[in-house]
């Protein structure tokens, strides 16, 4: 904006020079031509600077918008991540509980009442673990789908990576539950 008046002033100077050049001849004409070339060079430089400034401004605006979108996406993901981690950890804990209760069967030895009780507790723990794994898996799949709608590729990739880790943990727990 501050260079725009200079562009207009240079254009006006060229116009006046052209008017003055009409009646000139010889040495005077050569000087007018040389001055006109200098003004055109300066005018070109000013126009180049204006173009550079516009490009820089556009890049800065795009960069600012990108940062804003990343902040928005990161904020949305950081709200989801603790719950996703919690559900995954609960599922892993339920599987571990099932594993511990299944060891009670062997520890019961020859006492059939204790064995029955241990089997019942193990079955109940296995059902609870399977339910926790299912809930966590549904939650992670839903959040993975919502993360695909993030506007920035960087956060989309980070979210996919984190959710994939949690899904791998769930799969490991599932494999432990169903050997």
Q: Find tokens 């116009």 and name the residue.
A: 15
Question: What is the Cα–Cα distance from 70 to 64, expressed in whole angstroms?
Answer: 10
Q: What sign for the dihedral angle of Cα 78, 79, 84, 85?
A: positive
Q: What average pLDDT score do residues 72-80 get?
A: 91
What percent of the chain stands above pLDDT 90? 46
pLDDT tens profile 33-70 = 888 889 889 888 888 888 898 899 999 999 999 999 99
- pLDDT on residue 4: 76
CA atoms within 13 A on the CB side of 121: 16
């Amino acid at each position: 904006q501050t260079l725009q008046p200079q562009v207009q002033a240079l254009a006006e100077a060229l116009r006046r020079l052209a008017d003055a050049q009409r009646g000139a001849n010889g040495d005077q004409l050569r000087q007018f031509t040389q001055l006109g070339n200098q003004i055109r060079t300066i005018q070109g430089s000013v126009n180049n600077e204006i173009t550079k400034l516009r490009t820089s401004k556009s890049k800065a605006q795009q960069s600012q918008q990108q940062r804003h979108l990343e902040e928005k996406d990161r904020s949305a993901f950081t709200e989801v991540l603790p719950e996703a981690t919690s559900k995954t950890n609960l599922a892993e804990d339920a599987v571990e509980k099932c594993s511990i209760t299944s060891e009670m069967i062997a520890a019961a030895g020859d006492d059939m009442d204790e064995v029955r009780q241990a089997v019942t507790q193990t079955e109940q723990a296995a059902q609870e673990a399977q339910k926790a794994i299912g809930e966590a898996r549904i939650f992670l799949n839903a959040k993975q789908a919502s993360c695909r709608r993030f506007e920035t590729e960087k956060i989309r990739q980070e979210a996919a990576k984190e959710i994939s880790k949690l899904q791998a943990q769930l799969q490991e727990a599932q494999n432990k539950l169903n050997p």
